[in-house]
Amino acid sequence: MIAEILSTGDEVLLGDIIDTNSGFLCEKLKELGIQVRQITAVGDEVEGISHTLRQIAKRADICLVTGGLGPTRDDLTALACAKTAGEEVVMSPRALETMTSYFQKRGFEITRDNKKQAMLPASAGVLVNQKGTAPGFFISLDKCDFYFMPGVPSEMKFMFEDEVKPRLLDSCGPGREIFIERLTVFGLHESRAGALLKGFENKFPGMKLGFRAKFPFIEVKIVCPMEGDAGDSLETIRNQMAAREWAVSRLENKVISSSGQSLEQEVGNLLREKKFTLAIAESCTGGLIASLVTDVPGSSDYFLFSGVTYSNEAKINILKVAQKTLEAHGAVHEQTALEMAVGVKKAANADWGISTTGIAGPSGGTKDKPVGTVCIGIAGPGRETAKQYTFNFGNRASNKKMFAATALEVLRRELICH
Amino acid sequence: MIAEILSTGDEVLLGDIIDTNSGFLCEKLKELGIQVRQITAVGDEVEGISHTLRQIAKRADICLVTGGLGPTRDDLTALACAKTAGEEVVMSPRALETMTSYFQKRGFEITRDNKKQAMLPASAGVLVNQKGTAPGFFISLDKCDFYFMPGVPSEMKFMFEDEVKPRLLDSCGPGREIFIERLTVFGLHESRAGALLKGFENKFPGMKLGFRAKFPFIEVKIVCPMEGDAGDSLETIRNQMAAREWAVSRLENKVISSSGQSLEQEVGNLLREKKFTLAIAESCTGGLIASLVTDVPGSSDYFLFSGVTYSNEAKINILKVAQKTLEAHGAVHEQTALEMAVGVKKAANADWGISTTGIAGPSGGTKDKPVGTVCIGIAGPGRETAKQYTFNFGNRASNKKMFAATALEVLRRELICH
């Protein structure tokens, strides 16, 4: 089963909008066990669309097309499709009827421009649009089934679910399911992760590994196709578990989640499970750690307070860092980080306090403490410590992300032991 | 001049990531006067990539390729390109040298897997990667010039600017220069912005408008082609200014920057210019406002402190919100927001204090205060006020972004008047 996606419209090729429709459709097809072989985007031109349709008709079994069904002059997809099929566009009574009822419900008169949208290739069937005016249609060219949907994401999504998906299930059957395991990894470069997992595909035939950088993390995917009959699916699940365990053990202690969760979700789970509360003192991360922690719904169960103390005055007044510490060592020092963590824990009456103080750049670095230096402090039950690290990813935003992730990882490791 | 873009990688076809690289490259090529004819995405398969390269080589003059240059086994682009060119991959001394120096600067040893990345098609030239390990390369197949870049957006963007763009300018000539004006707009839906700017293209012939949503902002682009000879360029610049002024006036007071700057940059500029300092008290935004403000280099000039007070205790102890205010009105109330803004201004000894308290969701909403409710307080010289807003964008992350942007916009408007 070869599936392709075609997106039409100048706005994508001009860089004015990002084509998110294709990603949505890839994901939906994957859920049906259908993997997309190719995505193509072309402009609003009858010749170009028609040429591409002809090529796809030769190599694919199904193709989902989005865009170019609107009422304006640059909406040419139906025309291009008719040309490819060697037929005329004709007024579709069914399409006109659904459009008319769409307008009536909203108290509008149908315009001549809108009526143009009901002109479909003669042999096409109608796909009803519940959320807008442009009807979709389906047609077979060579042995490929084409489904044409509008480019407006909300309309396309409803039309896919209501009109296209049932037809795909009818014509393709349930297909081969694919299971994907995701490991979230921190502290390894993609190439190092690849080296550690060498031999995977020999050890687990039929499974594939995928790597994706989501700075500062990498995601390792284990793709396991299922044969789909009940006899071997238990075997497949066992294999899948063995593959995951093997990968986790090879990646040493760098796997922060073996279910694809984010670091802030993992930290949140541990805090909730162990009934701990958290306070944060941030200098160089500027609120990013708190923002990550509070991206997790329900984080108010364990997160109490973050003091984003950019000025020394705030470090002294709010976190109770000793003035003489700042005078003796400066803001970027392990002792300062330690006092920040201890201070914020106390100020918020929390079980754990973590802190960051460092230099995110681009300026502010010195020979001793270059841009990328960060001191991370942690204070918890029976535990107070701080450590200096040096990273440098060349830009402020990446340094901030790396500092924040390191602080959360230090906390995660402490929480596992407590 | 026919240009195409090819994106390689299973993750796009599996719907795991949205291909934003192609949009970026379309936009950059447009700025060089080159319009992209087709975008194609294929998976990590030597045969598929090679077949597509052969087809593109027949029909295009230039092609930008992203992805598949990493160190792992699913990175197969160089191999596929060599196959298409009918040559071997060989170790490129230049590529190895730039990679080695990249690793040395960061104090790492180069691994054997990384060395694989320096294996390039024999006749390819190297494109240096300043931001990562994977070198790019360029090669001609038929009469099409191909440029291969990594799929990691940050690496790709730098490589495009530093290595690809100068070569394109060399080989294609300057083309028609295009000036682009960017307006950052907040508080208007894209369709409403389009309606307000109706008539633009009649009023300013030859210029075009583009719209792009960057939630919660939209960017309106005015694309002005230059004929390139000195005689009419002054005229063109005058036209361009008139077009910008007209657009700004039509968009009423929703333009937050007429030079494409971000809201946090605009706020930072105003604070620095007026020699004001800022403190922030955040509840529902969870540190996001502070993180945005501190994304701007040099923000330590004006930003002093943010208190991310999730717990009532922190609101009382650190921001000095009155306990009876919380008892009488709850945390999400204008009076609470007002006391937070006044309290943080005082605690940090700042000129301005802003605050947010609200319900980002998904849970926590009530009939009176549904998810999406936010109270924003502001305290400055001779000015103390708070107001309740209700938004709902259906998810926690979008609500947080909208709340944060609204608070910064309230501050920006105050700063303009002070």
The string of DSSP codes covering A8-42 is E-HHHHTTSS---HHHHHHHHHHHTT--EEEEEEE
Whether residue B231 has pLDDT greater than 60: no
The reported pLDDT for the residue numbered B230 is 46
Whether residue A394 has pLDDT greater than 50: yes
**Amino acid (one-letter) located at B335:** Q
Q: Is omega for the bond preceding B216 within 30 degrees of 0, making it cis?
A: yes
Query: Could you tell me the CA-to-CA distances from A126 to A53, A129, A148, B98, B353 in Å, in that order?
Result: 19, 9, 9, 57, 58
Q: How do residues B378-390 score in pLDDT, each as one tens digit? A: 999 999 999 999 9
Give contacts of A20 with chain B, Cβ < 8 Å: 18
Phi/psi region, residue A40 (left: phi>0; alpha: psi -120 to 50; beta: rest), is beta
Whether residue B177 has pLDDT greater than 70: no
Three-state SS at A217: strand
Decide: B332 and A334 in contact? Cβ < 8 Å.
no
Give contacts of A26 with chain B, Cβ < 8 Å: 12-15
Lookup result for tokens 């508080």? B187
- Residue B128 gets which letter from DSSP? -
The whole-angstrom separation of Cα B418 and Cα B407 is 17
The closest CB to that of A13, out of B20, B39, B294, belongs to: B39
Q: Which fold has domain B178-257?
A: Alpha-Beta Plaits (3.30.70)
The whole-angstrom separation of Cα B281 and Cα B287 is 9
Q: Where in chain B is the domain with CATH 3.40.980.10?
A: 3-172
Q: Which fold has domain B3-172?
A: Molybdenum Cofactor Biosythetic Enzyme; Chain A (3.40.980)
Q: Taking CB atoms and an 8 Å limit, are A307 and B308 in contact across chains?
A: yes
Q: Where in chain B is the domain with CATH 3.90.950.20?
A: 263-417
Q: CA nearest A212 in B: which residue?
A: B11
Phi, then psi, of A195 in degrees rounded to 5: -65, -40
The reported pLDDT for the residue numbered B107 is 77
The whole-angstrom separation of Cα A64 and Cα A8 is 11
The whole-angstrom separation of Cα A113 and Cα A74 is 12
Q: CA nearest A178 in B: which residue?
A: B14
Q: How do residues B306-344 score in pLDDT, each as one tens digit? A: 999 999 999 999 999 999 999 999 999 999 999 999 999
Decide: B76 and B44 in contact? Cβ < 8 Å.
yes
* Torsion on CA atoms B144, B149, B151, B153, rounded to nearest 10: -110
CA of residue B403 relative to chain centroid, distance: 19
Token pair belonging to A154 = 């909300």
Lookup result for tokens 């949009």? B23
Q: Taking CB atoms and an 8 Å limit, are B396 and A308 in contact across chains?
A: no
The whole-angstrom separation of Cα A286 and Cα B295 is 8
Q: How many CA atoms lie within 13 A of A128 on its CB side?
A: 10
As to burial, measured by CB atoms within 10 angstroms (0-12 exposed, 13-18 middle, 19+ buried), residue B349 is: middle
Q: How big is the CA angle at A246 (ends A243 and A249), to the nearest 5 degrees?
A: 150
The reported pLDDT for the residue numbered A175 is 54
Q: Taking CB atoms and an 8 Å limit, are B291 and A294 in contact across chains?
A: no
Token pair belonging to B290 = 């502070």
Q: Residues, chain B, total?
A: 418
Of A37-46, B10-19, B171-180, B396-405, the range with the lowest mean pLDDT is B171-180
Q: How far is B281 from chain A (nearest CA, A)?
A: 10
The reported pLDDT for the residue numbered A74 is 74
Q: How do residues A171-181 score in pLDDT, each as one tens digit? A: 766 555 567 78
Share of chain A above pLDDT 70, in %: 96
Phi, then psi, of A378 in degrees rounded to 5: -145, 140
Average pLDDT, chain B: 91
Q: How do residues B23-48 score in pLDDT, each as one tens digit? A: 999 989 988 888 899 999 999 999 99
Decide: A366 and A358 in contact? Cβ < 8 Å.
no
Q: Where in chain A is the domain with CATH 3.30.70.2860?
A: 178-257
Q: CA nearest B6 in A: which residue?
A: A40
Q: Pick the closest to residue B67 from B101, B41, B31 (CA basis).
A: B41
Determine how β-strand A278-282 pairs with β-strand A303-309: parallel
The reported pLDDT for the residue numbered B413 is 96
The string of DSSP codes covering B161-190 is IIIIHHHHHHHH-S-S-EEEEEEEEES--H
The dihedral built from the CA positions of residue A304, A309, A312 and A313, taken in this order, carries a sign that is: negative
Per CATH, domain B263-417 is 3.90.950.20: yes
- Residue A109 gets which letter from DSSP? P
Average pLDDT, chain A: 91
Of A102-116, A333-347, B263-277, the range with the lowest mean pLDDT is A102-116
Whether residue B251 has pLDDT greater than 50: yes
Q: CA nearest A195 in B: which residue?
A: B113
User: Whole-prediction pTM value?
Assistant: 0.78
- Residue B110 gets which letter from DSSP? P
Give contacts of A363 with chain B, Cβ < 8 Å: 297-298
Q: How many CB pairs under 8 A join A and B?
A: 281
The whole-angstrom separation of Cα B149 and Cα B167 is 14
Instruction: Give me the interface pTM, i.e. the ipTM.
Output: 0.77
Q: How far is A28 from chain B (nearest CA, A)?
A: 8
The closest CB to that of A305, out of B24, B35, B308, belongs to: B308
Give contacts of B291 with chain A, Cβ < 8 Å: 285-288, 290-291, 400
Give contacts of B198 with chain A, Cβ < 8 Å: none
Give contacts of B102 with chain A, Cβ < 8 Å: none
Q: How far is B174 from chain A (nearest CA, A)?
A: 19
Q: Pick the closest to residue B347 from B312, B309, B375 (CA basis).
A: B309
The closest CB to that of A307, out of B15, B213, B307, belongs to: B307
Share of chain A above pLDDT 90, in %: 68
The closest CB to that of B212, out of A17, A287, A348, belongs to: A17
The whole-angstrom separation of Cα A283 and Cα B211 is 37
Of A181-195, A345-359, B339-353, the range with the lowest mean pLDDT is A181-195
The whole-angstrom separation of Cα A398 and Cα B300 is 18
Whether residue A230 has pLDDT greater than 50: no
Whether residue A31 has pLDDT greater than 70: yes
The whole-angstrom separation of Cα B174 and Cα B369 is 57
Q: Where in chain A is the domain with CATH 3.90.950.20?
A: 264-417
Mutation choice for B interface testing from A2, A4, A12, A13 by most B CBs within 10 A = A13
The closest CB to that of A20, out of B18, B303, B400, belongs to: B18
The whole-angstrom separation of Cα B265 and Cα B104 is 35
Q: How do residues A72-102 score in pLDDT, each as one tens digit? A: 777 899 999 999 999 999 999 999 998 888 8
Q: Pick the closest to residue A345 from A308, A375, A306 (CA basis).
A: A306
The whole-angstrom separation of Cα A258 and Cα A281 is 29
The whole-angstrom separation of Cα B68 and Cα B79 is 10
Q: Taking CB atoms and an 8 Å limit, are B310 and A317 in contact across chains?
A: no
Q: Taking CB atoms and an 8 Å limit, are B42 and A43 in contact across chains?
A: no
Q: How far is B384 from chain A (nearest CA, A)?
A: 22
Of A242-256, B9-23, B128-142, the range with the lowest mean pLDDT is B9-23
**pLDDT band for position B299 (cuts 50, 70, 90):** very high
Q: Which fold has domain A264-417?
A: Maf protein (3.90.950)
Between B221 and A412, name the one with better pLDDT: A412
Query: Could you tell me the CA-to-CA distances from B94 to B124, B127, B135, B167 in Å, in that order?
Result: 11, 10, 9, 18
Token pair belonging to B106 = 């960061």
- Residue B371 gets which letter from DSSP? T
- Residue B160 gets which letter from DSSP? I
Whether residue B99 has pLDDT greater than 50: yes
